[in-house]
């Protein structure tokens, strides 16, 4: 561990290198993408180059991670948690790019810029993961969101895509306004946009009980809740994920969520701190409502993409349980959980793409019936993803340990979240209703008469699916390496918010 000093050029490089590689790569690729006439081959080569840029950025992240600096309180955090989130985001981006290569081929989508947009969104996410200043945070959110709005509607021929994009844009802009207003109010109350300074100010009753501060924090939370798709701010999710092209639905469900959770967690640990009952209460209800709503609504979905989007809402609820714990252990749990969630969800979307027949309609679960008899590998992979999302041990791989990690973080917190844990467990039982339904349809329903076997996907798609399954299963048998990394990187991260001086009595969480 070395003390970090932004004025030393090599330290400055460490703070920005991965983001700069990604952004510069995206810019160069943008030029190259519009330089050549549109063709499928060109589009594919851009996708592979984009994956290369991600890989280079990933290498830089790992390089910076290994140097290991102590936390400092500058505008861009340089700590293990940021690098961990960056790895997950880049992993998700690379998977998305790979799935998109296959998907765009199926749909005859020849726009090469789409891959550049993915990179731009990823750079916004990486900025978000490291933001310790509300302005940087807002910058990251906008950079990410604008690119993702376009991605949702990238298929210009699709009415459903256009609807999704417009819906996402209008509601997203609305939530950004909430967030910005919240930032303004918090700045008004504390005189700073730096999270650490806000945390110091918030520790004094003069600020923490000030209405302007409380309203500001509430608006901030609403903005975040929209981005992570937490109930009751989740209404847009099913429509957008269903209408958007499958690879980008997966991208929204995984990478966008990862980045937003990273930012939310940093706000929770550095600016607000575990002492604030009001904030804690709001998070508690957000988590409980999200788990209940996500799982209950997913039960009645017969469209796989909609089911997966409600499942992503449900998982936002599970992640919020770890956020509610407001400990670094909870942060480690979130890192671990997001790895499992990203692999399983993007893997499931990859299977959705593999079963796409080139039409732009709802993905009816009936098309999956008896898949096992014609494509056993694909069916088993989907079963592993479903069981991983359910959190089943061994066959669900690391999904179980992810849920277990969240559960133990919630129960080990200074204020044990026993009730929330029980809601989590009951919600998991409900979720078995729809995850197992998919497994049942895949394996136990007969294949409809006359249904043609879906053609085998392209090698890159099969590679993505096989790699996700392998990682999920391996880390499900022996998760220790990943756990150790998550624990170590979360423990040395964050500038903890100072304890609060005094508080007015507020109803304690149920």
Partner 1 sequence: MRSLLNALHYAEWILPVLLLLPLVGAAVIWIAARPAPHEDEREYGESHLGRNIALGVLVLEFVLSTGLWWAFDPANPGWQFTIDFPWLEEWGSRFTVAVDGISLMMVLLTTFLMPIALLGGWTSVRHKLRTYYALFLALETGILGTFLATDLLLFYVMWEIMLVPIYFIIGIWGGDKRIYASIKFFLYTLVGSLMMLVAIVVLWRYTGGTTFAYDKIMAVAPRTGPAALWLFGAFFLAFAIKVPIFPFHTWLPDAHVEAPTAGSVILAGVLLKLGTYGFLRFAVPLFPDVVMIPWVRDGVLTLSVIGIIYGALVALVQTDLKKLVAYSSVSHLGFVMLGLFAFDERSVLGAQMVGISHGVSSGALFLLVGMIYERAHTRQIAAYGGIARTVPMFSAALALVAMSSIGLPGTNGFIGEFLVLIGTYNVFPYLAGAATIGVVLGAAYLLWALQRIIFNPMSNPENRNLSDLNRREVGVMAVIAVVIVWLGVFPGGVLDRMRPATQRLVDRVHGRATVPAASALPVSVPTLPAGGR
* CB closer to partner 1 out of 25 and 391: 391
Residue 337 binds partner 1, judged by CB under 8 A:
no
Which residues fall within 8 angstroms of residue 154, CB to CB, at 6 or more apart? 109, 111, 114, 117, 161, 245, 248
Residue 393 binds partner 1, judged by CB under 8 A:
yes
Please pick, from the candidates 444, 501, 502, 506, the single residue that binds partner 1 as defined by CB under 8 A. 444
| 8 A C-beta contact, residue 254 and residue 345 | yes
Please pick, from the candidates 24, 281, 436, 474, the single residue that binds partner 1 as defined by CB under 8 A. 436
x/- mask, partner 1, residues 463-482, rule CB under 8 A, reads ---------------xxx--
Shortest Cβ distance from residue 349 to partner 1 (Å)? 24
Q: Supply the DSSP symbol for 356.
A: -
Beta bridge partners of 2: 69
* CB closer to partner 1 out of 68 and 433: 433
Please pick, from the candidates 111, 443, 474, 496, the single residue that binds partner 1 as defined by CB under 8 A. 443
Segment lying near partner 1 (by CB under 8 A), choices 62-70, 140-148, 213-221, 386-394: 386-394
Which residues fall within 8 angstroms of residue 510, CB to CB, at 6 or more apart? 284, 419
Please pick, from the candidates 193, 210, 345, 487, the single residue that binds partner 1 as defined by CB under 8 A. 487
Shortest Cβ distance from residue 410 to partner 1 (Å)? 9
Three-state DSSP string of 434-480: HHHHHHHHHHHCCCCCCCCCCCCCCHHHHHHHHHHHHHHHHHHHCCH
* CB closer to partner 1 out of 55 and 453: 453
* CB closer to partner 1 out of 260 and 417: 417
Beta bridge partners of 131: 76
Shortest Cβ distance from residue 420 to partner 1 (Å)? 11
Three-state DSSP string of 11-27: HHHHHHHHHHHHHHHHH
Closest CA to 337 of 298, 394, 391, 268: 391
Segment lying near partner 1 (by CB under 8 A), choices 113-121, 293-301, 434-442, 490-498: 434-442
Q: Round to whole Å and give the CA distance between 365 and 303.
A: 6
Shortest Cβ distance from residue 279 to partner 1 (Å)? 25
Shortest Cβ distance from residue 428 to partner 1 (Å)? 6
Shortest Cβ distance from residue 484 to partner 1 (Å)? 6
* CB closer to partner 1 out of 103 and 392: 392
Q: Round to whole Å and give the CA distance between 347 and 327.
A: 30
Strand spans (E) along 288-396: none
Shortest Cβ distance from residue 392 to partner 1 (Å)? 6
How many other C-beta atoms are found inside a 10 Å radius of the C-beta of residue 350?
Answer: 32
C-alpha distances (whole Å) from 432 to each of 291, 310, 356, 435, 494 are: 13, 13, 25, 5, 35
Is the torsion defined by CA of 254, 255, 260, 261 positive or negative? positive
Shortest Cβ distance from residue 77 to partner 1 (Å)? 24
- With CB under 8 A as the rule, give the number of residues binding partner 1: 34
Alpha helices in 36-158 (DSSP H): 40-67, 80-107, 113-130, 134-152
x/- mask, partner 1, residues 394-433, rule CB under 8 A, reads xx----x---x--xx--xx---x-x--xx--xx-xx--xx
Shortest Cβ distance from residue 483 to partner 1 (Å)? 5
* CB closer to partner 1 out of 45 and 421: 421
Please pick, from the candidates 170, 177, 206, 440, the single residue that binds partner 1 as defined by CB under 8 A. 440
Shortest Cβ distance from residue 183 to partner 1 (Å)? 37
How far is Cα of residue 263 from the mean position of the Cα atoms in its chain? 11
x/- mask, partner 1, residues 228-257, rule CB under 8 A, reads ------------------------------
Please pick, from the candidates 4, 69, 392, 434, the single residue that binds partner 1 as defined by CB under 8 A. 392
* CB closer to partner 1 out of 229 and 482: 482
Shortest Cβ distance from residue 134 to partner 1 (Å)? 34
x/- mask, partner 1, residues 340-369, rule CB under 8 A, reads ------------------------------
Output Rg (C-alpha) for the chain, integer angstroms: 22
* CB closer to partner 1 out of 8 and 394: 394
User: At 413, is the secondary structure helix, strand, or coil?
Assistant: coil
Size of the chain, expressed as the number of residues it contains: 510
The DSSP code sequence of 220-280 is: HHHHHHHHTT-TTS-THHHHHHHHS-HHHHHHIIIIIHHHHHHHHHHIIIIII-TT-HHHH
| 8 A C-beta contact, residue 23 and residue 123 | yes
* CB closer to partner 1 out of 312 and 428: 428
* CB closer to partner 1 out of 146 and 390: 390
Q: Which residues bind partner 1 (CB under 8 A)?
A: 373, 387, 392-395, 400, 404, 407-408, 411-412, 416, 418, 421-422, 425-426, 428-429, 432-433, 436-437, 440, 443-445, 478-480, 483-484, 487
């Amino acid at each position: 561990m070395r003390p970090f000093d932004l004025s030393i050029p090599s330290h400055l490089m460490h703070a920005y290198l991965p983001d700069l590689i990604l952004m510069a790569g995206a810019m160069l690729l943008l030029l190259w993408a519009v330089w050549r006439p549109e063709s499928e081959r060109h589009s594919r080569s851009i996708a592979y180059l984009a994956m290369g840029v991600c890989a280079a950025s990933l290498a830089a992240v790992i390089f910076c991670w290994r140097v290991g600096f102590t936390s400092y309180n500058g505008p861009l955090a340089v700590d293990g948690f940021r690098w961990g989130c960056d790895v997950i985001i880049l992993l998700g981006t690379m998977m998305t790019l790979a799935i998109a290569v296959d998907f765009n081929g199926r749909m005859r989508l020849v726009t090469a810029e789409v891959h550049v947009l993915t990179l731009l969104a990823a750079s916004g996410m990486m900025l978000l993961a490291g933001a310790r200043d509300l302005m940087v945070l807002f910058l990251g959110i906008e950079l990410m969101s604008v690119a993702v709005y376009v991605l949702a509607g990238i298929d210009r021929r699709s009415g459903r895509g256009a609807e999704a994009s417009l819906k996402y844009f209008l509601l997203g802009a609305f939530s950004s306004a909430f967030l910005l207003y919240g930032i303004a109010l918090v700045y008004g109350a504390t005189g700073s946009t730096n999270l650490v300074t806000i945390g110091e100010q918030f520790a004094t009753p003069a600020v923490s009980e000030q209405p302007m501060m409380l309203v500001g924090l509430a608006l901030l939370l609403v903005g975040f809740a929209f981005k992570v798709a937490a109930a009751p701010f989740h209404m847009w999710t099913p429509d957008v994920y269903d209408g958007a092209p499958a690879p980008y639905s997966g991208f929204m469900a995984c990478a966008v969520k990862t980045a937003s959770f990273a930012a939310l967690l940093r706000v929770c640990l550095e600016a607000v701190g575990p002492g604030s009952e009001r904030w804690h209460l709001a998070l508690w209800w957000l988590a409980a409502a999200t788990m209940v709503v996500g799982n209950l609504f997913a039960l009645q979905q017969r469209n796989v993409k909609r089911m997966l989007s409600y499942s992503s809402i449900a998982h936002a609820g599970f992640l919020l349980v770890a956020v509610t714990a407001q400990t670094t252990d909870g942060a480690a749990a979130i890192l671990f959980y997001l790895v499992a969630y990203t692999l399983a969800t993007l893997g499931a979307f990859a299977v959705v793409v593999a079963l796409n027949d080139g039409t732009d309609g709802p993905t009816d679960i009936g098309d999956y019936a008896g898949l096992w008899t014609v494509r056993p590998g694909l069916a088993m992979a989907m079963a592993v993803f479903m069981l991983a999302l359910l959190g089943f041990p061994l066959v669900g791989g690391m999904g179980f340990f992810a849920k277990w990690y969240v559960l133990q973080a919630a129960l080990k917190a200074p204020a044990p979240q026993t009730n929330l844990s029980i809601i989590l467990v009951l919600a998991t039982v409900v979720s078995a209703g729809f995850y197992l339904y998919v497994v049942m349809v895949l394996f136990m329903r007969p294949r409809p008469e006359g249904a043609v076997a879906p053609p085998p996907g392209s090698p890159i798609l099969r590679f993505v699916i096989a790699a996700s399954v392998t990682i999920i299963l391996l880390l499900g048998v022996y998760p220790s390496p990943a756990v150790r990394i998550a624990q170590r990187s979360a423990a040395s991260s964050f500038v903890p918010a100072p304890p609060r001086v005094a508080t007015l009595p507020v109803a304690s969480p149920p």
